[in-house]
Amino acid sequence: MKILFLTDNFPPEVNAPATRTYEHCREWVKQGAEVTVITGAPNFPAGKVYKGYKNRLFKKENMDGINVIRVWTYIAANKGTIKRTLDYISFGFSAVLAGLFQKCDLIIGTTPQFFTALAAKKLAKIKRKPWVMEVRDIWPESIKVVEAVKDGSVMRYLEKKERQCYHSADKIVCVTQGIHDRLLSRGIPENKLKVFTNGANLELYCPKEKDKDLIKELGLEGKNVIGYIGTMGMAHKLDFILHCASKITDPNTHFLLIGEGAEKENLLTLKDKLALKNVTILDAIPKHEVSNYLSVIDIALVNLKKTDLFLGALPSKIFENAAMGNPILLGLKGEAENVINRYKAGIAFEPENEADFIEKLSFLTNNNKFYMQSKAGCRKLAEDYNRETIAKNMLDHIMQLNI
């Protein structure tokens, strides 16, 4: 089976869409599929092309058996609306052009970069092949929630195109049950929808001793480290975390935030304004170093903006931290909280509620029995959400389109 996969993000980028796509495609190759990925030059989130790459019209490479085609895009940092939109649109056009010359049995387009799905839809029509839409986020509604785009003619146009993609796709893969239920409520036939969540790479992430050299390098000796590794965007509401940190009096509690994103500079400014000595903010790190940094974390922070749209969210950092045995301090209600509670893998606080955050953090820090129970629950969660198994099941599902 020949699969053509369109994605705006791919390794060496380290965000959730890049990691999920790579790990799924790598597993599909192991299972005998021939996989071609069309993507751009790696540049997320700073909008700077990674060392060793150039923003060329067309370049082929092979990554663990995956045929990777990198196409030209208008490159922009992950902030601002107009330039990012031009980035997404340019990738859509380049992906269609490159895809015309690739043989395939089916096409997959992954969101939330919505123009990637539009490109997959267009290619499927031209090549008369079935196509699968992977929905990682309800877009464009999610950008309206974080006020990146206002209601108006542009939003109505995007919502129209969104509906067309849902109805055109032969199968829709939902990354959470919440997305599945939301699309079902919009009238999308249930036989089109299937949930394949994010998961844990148990080869890469597993419980390990703390990296003592790293602890010393970061000046975290004797600290109870509350860690966040990921995108620092508008949806992640990390300014709320900094305000909470300003009210924590325990000198042994320290917040470690690592990543890039649209809000990074604002967070650094706020840290200085609040004169926070208990917060360290670092630049993004390579994927192969993530497990070392996760090892120094005592409590994993997973936080999003307070909105009903995120009731169906299930962030991938839950699974990476769970695999490392890091209890979760969750700033989310809905599906993610249900998972954490079911496995007893941590504790949830009311999103954007400072008093509740401080109370739940104190409980998780000072109740050793609950903390150790959470570590055990994390490992069970990770085993049940093994990404290798999820990838195999997804391949079996989409192969039905080629029977």
Strand partners, 69: 38, 60
CB neighbour list of residue 245: distance below 8 Å, 6 or more residues apart: 255, 274, 276, 278, 279
For residue range 2-17, list pLDDT tens digits in order.
Answer: 999 999 999 999 888 9
Distance CA 176, CA 31 (A): 24
Q: How far is CA 295 from CA 81, 248, 320, in A?
A: 36, 23, 11
pLDDT at 144: 47
Among candidate residues 210, 202, 224, 39, the one with its CA nearest the CA of residue 113? 39
Question: What DSSP assignment string belongs to 196-257?
Answer: ----B-TTT-------HHHHHHHT-TT-EEEEEES---GGG-HHHHHHHHTT---TTEEEEE
Query: The sheet that has 34-40: what strands, in order across it?
Result: 58-63, 66-71, 34-40, 2-6, 106-110, 131-135, 171-174, 193-195
For residue range 167-213, list pLDDT tens digits in order.
Answer: 999 999 999 999 999 899 989 999 999 999 999 999 999 999 999 99
Total residue count of the chain as it appears in this document: 403
* Residue corresponding to tokens 């990198």: 70
pLDDT at 146: 45
pLDDT at 14: 87
Distance CA 120, CA 107 (A): 6
Per-position pLDDT tens, the chain of length 403: 999 999 999 999 988 899 999 999 999 999 999 999 999 999 988 889 999 999 999 999 999 999 999 999 999 876 666 787 888 899 999 999 999 999 999 999 998 778 899 999 999 999 999 999 999 877 655 544 444 555 567 667 777 878 889 999 999 999 999 999 989 998 999 999 999 999 999 999 999 999 999 999 999 999 999 999 999 988 899 999 999 999 999 999 999 999 988 899 999 999 999 999 999 999 999 888 999 999 999 999 999 999 888 898 999 999 999 999 999 999 999 999 999 999 999 999 999 999 999 999 999 999 999 999 999 999 999 999 999 999 999 999 999 886 5
Task: Specify whether the backbone of 99 is left (phi greater than 0), alpha (psi in -120 to 50) or beta.
Answer: alpha
Neighbours of 163 (CB within 10 A): 13
pLDDT at 296: 97
pLDDT at 162: 83
* Strand pairing report for 106-110 and 328-331: unpaired
